[in-house]
Chains A and B, each alone.
Chain A
Amino acid sequence: MSLDRRLRDELRREAAAIEPDVERHLGAVEARALRRGGIGASTLLLAAAIVVAAIILRVPDPRLGGEAGSSGPPTPVASSSASPSPSAAAAYPEIAGMYVATLENANTAVKRDGVAGTWTMRLEPDGVIFLSPPASFVPGASGLSGIAFSLVGDRFRTNLFYNDYCNSIGTYAWSRAANTLTFTQVDDTCSIRRTLLATTPWVISP
């Protein structure tokens, strides 16, 4: 049997076995559409009320261990809302923590990539990165959300800046000393990520 015929036959056989309950799906679509369409003034008012309450109460920001609105590090613009979310089972407690790096324009690569300033990076044990850029850095179109990392031995892999400035995953060797975290490039074609991660050791922030 030729490849083309095999593909046609097997795909059609598979498809024939799929018999959806159309009425159930229609009901689900109606219900979901009504919920989605119902997001209107009431939802906006509720969201506004939550924001106002948060500002008034100055809710402590657990990600940074400080208080919102304080003169501490900038609030992370990253979120863990990427779907699918990183698996909580993948735990990296050995690297988890808050780190700070200050990059100076005196470094050619820093100046070229426009990343000068103080960056704050929080590595969560489940593989999520929260990154706070300096005020002078303007994130790309998709912002700094959905950033993840994984560890295998002394190798650190991340999708930081993927889609905005990079189209690949970066791989680094990492080592943690008493008060610093150092990344050394192993395989990364993305200039801005190399500059940010590997120019200077990241200082562990209390």
Chain B
Amino acid sequence: MAIPASSVRTRGTRLGLPGRPGVATTRAPSPRTIGGVTEVDIEYTAFFRDEFPSVLRTITLMLRDQPRAEEITQDAFIQLLLGWHKISRYERPGAWVRRVAVRLAMRSIRRDRLWASVREGLLPSAPARSSRFDVDGAIRRLPASQRAAIVLHYYEDRPLAEVAMILGCAEPTARVHLHHGRNRMRELLGEDDDVA
């Protein structure tokens, strides 16, 4: 992966995974090594600065909870860092970390919905069809896979094949998630079914 000159900056501390053969890396004068875990190399730092904001935005749109989205996005980048020596050789490390973050977010949404279903009690709730929601409220009512499909398709403009790859499912399955998510959003938003 080439490093744009503009993104090569030094930091006071650096995790220093060994540089890949043939890849020039800039190291801080005194790289820090803690507990046997090596330093971050400059390439990871540049990658982080480029990719973290966009992954965080996607995860925040899915979770509707920025502090939790920050934690989950950090978790994904930690996994990336711990495997950086290997993952940085992939063709698209950005796709790898995004896929990890989206799946962590989906797991979190599923866990929350499960707990909510246990906790919500048995009192009959007003049917959602009778209410209108804004986009935020409507997305909160979608299950994890539909939320992810909606955000990846409408915010990131990803084609179905990429949505499927990120969700870890077949393309027809991703199409179903998107279709159901869109229909549910239309119901909740009280929109007509015009297609742009």
Contact = CB atoms under 8 A, between A and B. Distances in A.
B109 interface: no
A33 to B, nearest CB: 5
A2 B195 contact: yes
B49 A152 contact: no
- 8 nearest interchain CB pairs? A38-B35, A37-B37, A4-B196, A152-B121, A11-B155, A2-B194, A15-B57, A2-B196
A159 B118 contact: yes
A76 to B, nearest CB: 19
A30 B40 contact: yes
B146 interface: no
Interface of B: 11, 13, 15, 34-37, 40, 45, 48-49, 52-53, 56-58, 60-61, 66, 70, 73-74, 77-78, 81-82, 111-112, 114-115, 117-123, 135-136, 150-151, 154-155, 182, 185-186, 189, 191-196
Contacts, number: 141
Contact of B191 (A6, A12, A33, A40): A6
B48 A15 contact: no
Contacts of A152: 121-123
Contacts of B194: 2-3
A6 B70 CA distance: 26
B49 to A, nearest CB: 5
A72 interface: no
A129 to B, nearest CB: 11
B74 A20 contact: no
A28 to B, nearest CB: 6
B37 A38 contact: yes
B49 A34 contact: no
18 contacts: A2-B196, A3-B185, A3-B193, A4-B154, A4-B196, A14-B61, A14-B136, A15-B57, A18-B57, A18-B66, A22-B49, A25-B74, A29-B78, A32-B74, A37-B36, A38-B34, A86-B115, A90-B119
A14 B185 CA distance: 17
Most interface-central of A14, A25, A30, A84 (chain B CB within 10 A): A30
Interface string A154-173: 01011100100000010100
A83 interface: yes
Contacts of B78: 29, 32-33, 36
Contact of B56 (A2, A20, A37, A171): A20
